[in-house]
Every structure is written in structure tokens, then in C-alpha cells.
Structure 1
């Protein structure tokens, strides 16, 4: 277990280990083959300063040349300093740029010719992307397209997309944008120069914007803890699990697969809140109350790791599976990209959502999906 998986709460006074919050033992993935796969390679991590991107960098730093690409200089700088303190004779470069800038992305690939690309850069916050759908499309879809295009042109050996469970039967702009990225990647199945793969998982404990820091802050203030609906369930994993899975998928990638981690049973957010209150030494509903505020726009009661009726294929690692997917013609993906580009040009949020729904057939209204679960719970 990495020290990054210890969640420091209440100004460092409360240290939580993952077992206490996951309700399961963290998955241990063999690292020997992964380290061999990384050795002496030029490795590019987009969104390298973020929660998952930075952990990928920590695990890959000693293997070869590492390039951290991020548009937020503070995170990138802090990671650069951390890695410099921890390792001697670093072969590390930091590039500050946006993946939306096609020319900047092309310049970085031309400069370094990365052999392995781990694409973690994305807008991830559901409510913000509901309010700013154009930014989700520009960054998540067209940014990913820029990086994929450069990876093909400069003949990167492998490209790994970090996806999300919110891409499965999406009910919001962020999830739909990530599902389109999966489709874009799968249209590269026959690419001879580069092997592509996507990794799909749920929430990462302690990551920026996750519920644990929010709940802990509310507890520190005496409560109440607020959650949108007491029936919400989510899959959770540790930062180390996420990074190990991404690296292992890169090692195994061969033909535009989507890799899914066995994350155990989903966790009910209400139970997570109650557990966190008790770990702080309080009694739920007596010392610290828990109240509902109502589902946010685009929010689902539950997330799924695999699409309906899709089959899972076992891999050499008993905790990692491949989801069987339909193939997508590049010409159809290109047509959707043009439609999305035109919708963004209009500045109309409604037209952007319509273009996304046309491009991603599984994109549904949250009310339709949530009603099924509420009926089941009755």
C-alpha cells in the first residue's frame, strides 16, 4: 500500500487506511512485468499533476524518461519537486500546455517521441460539466483526439486512456464525453503503429473533489454531513490500485480493449458517511447528523462498470477483465466530431447536448435511469 493511500483528515489528526473505507482489501497487482514493460521507455503522462496522473508518475519515474504534461502549473511544479527530492539523477521533463492546443501537443510529441502515453488529462466534475458542456467536449473529446492523433503520427508504441464508470450508460455530459473517448479509441482497433487501450474504474479515495475530504470538512465543522441521496452507491478504489491498473493495462494492451478492475461490491455513500463519523469518534445522527440535499443535475443513483449485456473476458490477472465491445468505424467517429465541433461553435448548451446524444446512443436522461433503481428498492 502506498503512503498516498493513507487519507489524512482533520488537519492530519485522523489517518484512514483504505480497508476502513473500501469495505474490502485493496487489490494487489503484480508489478514485475509492469516495471520491465516501462524500463528504458520514454513515458508521457497527460494530466500528470492530478491524483491518478501523479501516482502513475511516481510508479514510472525510475523506469525511463518521464514527461509530465499538465495545464495547471502548481500541481506539476509540486510533483516535480517531490520527485526530485525522492530520486537522484532524474530523467524528468515538465511541459505546461493544454491538450486542447493541437499545435502544442504535436510539438511535445515531435520533441520527445514518447513510446508510452498514459492519458489522464480530463475535466471530471459532473455538476461543473453540466453547466459548461462546451468545455467538456473541447477538453475531454477534442483534447483526447489531439493526443491520439499525435500518438499515431509519431508512432507511440502504446496509448492508455483513463476512463470512468460514468461512461457506462451515461446520464451526464462528463460521462457521455468519456464514453465518446472510449468509442474514439475503439475506432483505432486496426491501427498498426500504436496499440490502444482504455481503463475504466470508479471513484478514487481521497482524490480532488471526492466525498471523503468533503465529509471530513463537514465533520470538522460539527456537521451536518450532506449527501444528495441516501440510496446512492459507488465503486471505490485506492490511488495505488488505479495507477497499477493503468500501468498493467498498458503492459497487456494489444487491440483497443477496455480493461475493468474487479472492485468488489459498490459502497453505499450513506454507510461511508456513517463509518467516517464513527472513525472520528462521534455517533451518527446524535453528534453529527446526515441530511439529503437532492440529486444534482446529471447525477445517477448508481454507477456501472460494464454496459448492459456486454461480456467480460478474463485476463492473466484474476482481478482484471476485458469488456467485449462493438467496433466503431473511424468515418462515423469523424462525422460525430464534425457535428460536435459545429455544436460547440454555436455556443448553445442544448445543441451540444443534442450532438452528444446523437454521437453516444447510450446517453440517457438521469430520471429514466434513476427511476429503475428506485422502483427496485421499493
Structure 2
């Protein structure tokens, strides 16, 4: 079947040469047969046909499918026609005495040949599309496309073949496009006229085709659409559209991540590959939000082995299964273990002797760590870091990268203060023995992580509300998990030891605005899903900082990474800190806060327990039950 198709195309192109050559003479002589040029017509076909055969193969004419004929196919046709025109010009100039060719034929022949070859391919595509999609056009659900640029144009052409959708109009803020048509669909106004356009066409669906638009424009478009009762969809990024990977299945409902305007991160893959390729890597907290994404990113760089250390059995199983599915050839070692368990960590380091360690294991939930769990936060975040870092030094590891947090800057909670102590531990160990390069990477909240407000809001909306926000003015920085993981890899490849890297988190986002957008995107109004304010939780502050007041930053070659000079701890030695966090005796919340204040002078706790001997809730419950039984 394939050979037959190629033969037919080949014969069509040869026939085009004959028709264009003869037609050029007919046009030249007003459709009177030119008896004087009969020999020229006959003899001239021989070199032109030979040229057509050679030029068609050279131009790759038989690689394209006529059903999907497009600009690249016409470009190939043009190359073949130009080759024929060049040969004809040479014949007219060098063989005039043997083969007289009128000068007008040199112009008419390539024009006719281009029209016949190109027009034939386009006509065939139009015929096939009419035959294939004639029963589907205009039958799908009416939909409005927001954006009449490159992405919008490609999307409209894609949707023309869809039985599910029928593009009826477009809107765009560019006034020069108003009233114009794109593939037969009119641009009917700007984004602010979206409600009227939806009503005019009785449409209930909108697609955002503005992959490079700034967040305020996307939010305005989404707000206008949802307030008009429309469902909002979006398309992939412009790079994917331009590469031709877009398809109908790529269209999806708008997510809150789309409205935060985080740009795609570009990392220097060559530098990262130089650091990681063929190396033994170890990731603690490998099953967590950041740890698991780090593992997925590391797999791209052909490491010798990835050691997955995780205390949660199910989380460890999930990341192990991901590797088996997507990177079965990557050598992974799933190991259950607690970073506070020095014996287990020493055993792991002795057996696998990793070159690079990414320490992502930590307790991160601020309110939980603030009440009755403060000492556990110290042990997991600070002691766990000390144990793994000392094992890394003892095994002569090349690098140790600590995943820290913006809450370590001027901390107001136990979690942030313990992460700052973990940073001090790394800084102190590096000063003692700089053979292992220690680096710290700080960033804020990541979208979709286990501690993110987004999953919480989604569940509250699914239950019918209300959506709970702690304070109307509370703001947070956000970035996607893949973005954070990629910047961690970039920082690890860039560091020379002792740096604290700060990620560019963009602009802070008001949590109440985040909640409102999520409610609208779910198809509800604030009357249907109300927002209630519950007050700041223990240890929580209104806004997060990435730099402490006395800290200065230096630029790096990467625009989203900066190096920070951090302040030194108070009048204590590393030995004091090490002895305290290694103490096995339990310490109550107030004692932990007091001691953290000594290690981290900028720590200003915003919440204090009501007493030193407060009975835990479980004790109160047991007491109440015993009283009832009596």
C-alpha cells in the first residue's frame, strides 16, 4: 500500500511537469498551439523530467503525508520547483540555437509547476478533511478560545477535527485583532467582553490559549469566565504547542498552579550531569514530597545507584515502584531507616559509600511541631541532620546538601528554629572538616506537597465548605515541586562548599486569594462555598521571609539562585549544640523553646504553652472516661 501511494505521488509530480511545461506555452500564445515550438516542447521535457526526479528526492518530497500537508511540505515543493527553474534558465541561456525557449516561459513554467504541485497537495488535504470530518464539524459543544495568538491559532486548527468541541469565537485584548477571523472564527472583543460572548453563543466552556500570559491576565480571564458560569480549560505551554505535541487530550481543566505564574525552570543539564553521572547518590526522606521528586529528577542523569532512605514504609514502596515503572534500568536501593538512628545510618553509609547526599528528611508541619512535639522536631530536624552529616564526613562523601526552609529565617516557630539549627550544624561541620562540601538550599512552600494548603482546600471544597483560612492578610511563597527539585540540583552542581542558597520564590501570594480562585475554578461562588477565618495557628506568622535582616546575598550564574551570607549563632559552641540535641532525655516544649533561643538569637516564638505540666489530651480523655465509669 505504501509503495503504491509513493508511485502515485511520483507519477503526479511527473505529470505536473508535463502539464506546467505545455501549459506555459499555451499561456504564452493565448492558447493557440505553438507549431513552431513543437520540437522545443518535446525535447525540453527530457531534462525537466530528469531534473524533477532528482530534485524531488533531494527536497524530500515523498516524506510528507498529503493528508496532513502543511508549510514544511510546501517548502519542499518550492525547493524542487526552484531546482527545475534553475535548469530551465540554464537551457534558455546556453542552448538557444538548438532549443529556442521564449523568455516568458522561464517565468511561467515554475509558477505553474508550483501551483500544480502545491495546489494538488493542499486540495487533497482539504478533500480528505472534508470526507473525514464533515459529519463532526459544528456538532461539538460550543467553546470560546481566549487568545488569538500563535497558541490560539494552533488550537483552533486542532479543534476543527474534534467531535467533542466546536470553536465558535475568540476573544483577545489586542484591539488590532478585533473583528478579524482566525480559521473562520471571529475575534469578537477583549477578555472583559467574555460574558457577553458566552451568552451570545450560548457557550459554557472556555479554553485559555495564552501559555505565556502573566498571572494577572490569566486570573482576570479565569474570573470573568467562572463568574459567567463557564468551565475553564487550558492548553500546554507554548513550547509544547510549537513542537507539535499538542493534542485534544492535552486540554485539561485549569488548575490553581496555572494561575500562580511560575515560569518553567531552565537548569544547566550539562553541569548537573557532570556532577551526578556515574555517582552513588543517597536521598533521605526519599518518599516525601521533595525527596521523591528529587529522586525522579536524579534518575535522568544516569547515576550509578540511588539509595532511597525513608522511615515511612508505604512512601518507600511508592518511590521504589516508580523507578521500576519509569526507570527500570536505574539501580535503586530502597532502605527503611530513621535518620536519628546512628547505627542504621552508619550501616547504610558503610555498605554504599555514597558520593552525594541529599538530606530531605524532616518534620515540616508548623502547628503540629509547636505543641507537644517540639523535642521530636529537634531530634528529627537537628539530630537527624547531625547523624547523616557526620556519616557523610566519615565516609568521605563529596557533597552533602541540606534541604532547608524559608521558615528558618527569623523563625517564630519550633520547626523553623530547628531547621536553622540544622543549618548551623552543617556550617560548623564544614568548618571543622571541609573535605566534604556542605551546602544548604532554602525555599518556601511547594504546590501539592503533603503540607500544602491546596490539598486541604480541595478536600474542603469537595465537602461543600467552608474553606478555612487562618488570617485575611496571610501570604506565602509558592513554587512547584519539580521546580524546587530542579533548582536544588542546580545549586548542588554550582556550590563550592559552605553556601546557603536561596531560591527565587517569585511574588508572595495571599492565601485568601488562593482560596477564592480555587472555589471559582471548582465551579462555585463564595456564597455557595464560604471562606471562614480561624486565626493564626501556633507558631504561624503572617508572612515568610527568605533572608534574615542581617543577611546579604550574592548573585550566581543562575537567575533563580542567590548565595547568602548567614549570621553566626549566639555565644555557644557547636559542642554545646551537639550535646544538647544528642541528649536522650525528653524535654518539654517550654524547655525546647528556651534552649532554641540560645542557639538561634533571632528566634522569636509567637506562641507559648500555658504551663509546664499540662496534661496531654489523651490523659484528659482517659480521666473523663474513668469518671463516667465510676
Q: Compute the TM-score of the two structures, normalised by the length of structure 2.
A: 0.54
Partners of 2:262 and 2:506 within 8 A in 1: yes
Instruction: Establish whether residue 95 from structure 1 lines up as the match of residue 335 from structure 2.
Output: yes
Indicate which of 255, 269, 273 corresponds to 1:16.
255
Partners of 1:14 and 1:280 within 8 A in 2: no
Instruction: Establish whether residue 79 from structure 1 lines up as the match of residue 319 from structure 2.
Output: yes
Cα deviation, 1:322-371, whole Å, max 9, x if unaligned, reads 011245699812212323445x6143221122111111111102279xxx
Counterpart position of 2:391: 150
Secondary structure, aligned partner of 1:187: helix
Per-residue deviation, 1:209:
2.4
Partners of 2:430 and 2:436 within 8 A in 1: no
Partners of 1:166 and 1:304 within 8 A in 2: yes
Counterpart position of 2:484: 242
Counterpart position of 1:116: 356
Secondary structure, aligned partner of 1:180: helix
Secondary structure, aligned partner of 2:496: coil
In structure 2, runs of 5+ residues without a counterpart are: 1-235, 238-251, 609-630
Secondary structure, aligned partner of 2:429: coil
Secondary structure, aligned partner of 1:80: helix
For residues 306 and 232 of structure 1, do their structure 2 counterparts lie closer, same or farther at Cα, with a shift above 3 Å needed? same
Partners of 1:160 and 1:199 within 8 A in 2: yes
Counterpart position of 1:375: none
Counterpart position of 1:69: 309
Per-residue deviation, 1:126:
0.8
Question: 2: CA distance between counterparts of 1:366 and 1:27?
Answer: 35
Question: 1: CA distance between counterparts of 2:574 and 2:528?
Answer: 54
Secondary structure, aligned partner of 2:585: helix
Partners of 1:46 and 1:53 within 8 A in 2: yes
Indicate which of 590, 604, 626 corresponds to 1:364.
604
Counterpart position of 1:44: 282
Instruction: Establish whether residue 219 from structure 1 lines up as the match of residue 457 from structure 2.
Output: no
Partners of 2:338 and 2:344 within 8 A in 1: yes
Secondary structure, aligned partner of 1:291: strand
Counterpart position of 2:504: 262
Highest relative contact order (Cα 8 Å, sep 6+), 1 or 2? 1
Partners of 1:200 and 1:258 within 8 A in 2: yes
Per-residue deviation, 1:30:
3.0
For residues 290 and 329 of structure 1, do their structure 2 counterparts lie closer, same or farther at Cα, with a shift above 3 Å needed? closer
Per-residue deviation, 1:272:
0.6
User: Residues 281-296 of structure 1: matches in 2 within 5 Å?
Assistant: 281-283=523-525, 285-296=526-537
Please identify, of 24-33 and 233-242, the stretch whose mean Cα deviation from structure 2 is larger. 24-33
Q: Compute the TM-score of the two structures, normalised by the length of structure 1.
A: 0.89
Secondary structure, aligned partner of 1:366: coil
Question: 1: CA distance between counterparts of 2:570 and 2:368?
Answer: 31
Per-residue deviation, 1:26:
3.9
Counterpart position of 2:445: 203
Counterpart position of 1:252: 494
Question: 2: CA distance between counterparts of 1:233 and 1:331?
Answer: 34
The structure where helix makes up a greater share of residues is: 2
Number of equivalences: 355
Partners of 1:19 and 1:26 within 8 A in 2: no
Instruction: Establish whether residue 53 from structure 1 lines up as the match of residue 277 from structure 2.
Output: no
User: Residues 101-180 of structure 1: matches in 2 within 5 Å?
Assistant: 101-131=341-371, 132-180=373-421
Question: 2: CA distance between counterparts of 1:26 and 1:48?
Answer: 24
Greater C-alpha radius of gyration: 2
Question: 2: CA distance between counterparts of 1:38 and 1:331?
Answer: 37
Question: 2: CA distance between counterparts of 1:290 and 1:138?
Answer: 37
Secondary structure, aligned partner of 1:214: helix
For residues 340 and 59 of structure 1, do their structure 2 counterparts lie closer, same or farther at Cα, with a shift above 3 Å needed? closer
Question: 2: CA distance between counterparts of 1:345 and 1:367?
Answer: 24
Partners of 1:188 and 1:256 within 8 A in 2: no
Question: 2: CA distance between counterparts of 1:316 and 1:330?
Answer: 35
Question: 2: CA distance between counterparts of 1:118 and 1:211?
Answer: 25
For residues 273 and 207 of structure 1, do their structure 2 counterparts lie closer, same or farther at Cα, with a shift above 3 Å needed? same
Counterpart position of 1:372: none
Partners of 2:262 and 2:479 within 8 A in 1: no
Please identify, of 247-256 and 235-244, the stretch whose mean Cα deviation from structure 2 is larger. 247-256
Partners of 1:232 and 1:302 within 8 A in 2: yes
Counterpart position of 1:310: 551
Partners of 2:434 and 2:497 within 8 A in 1: no
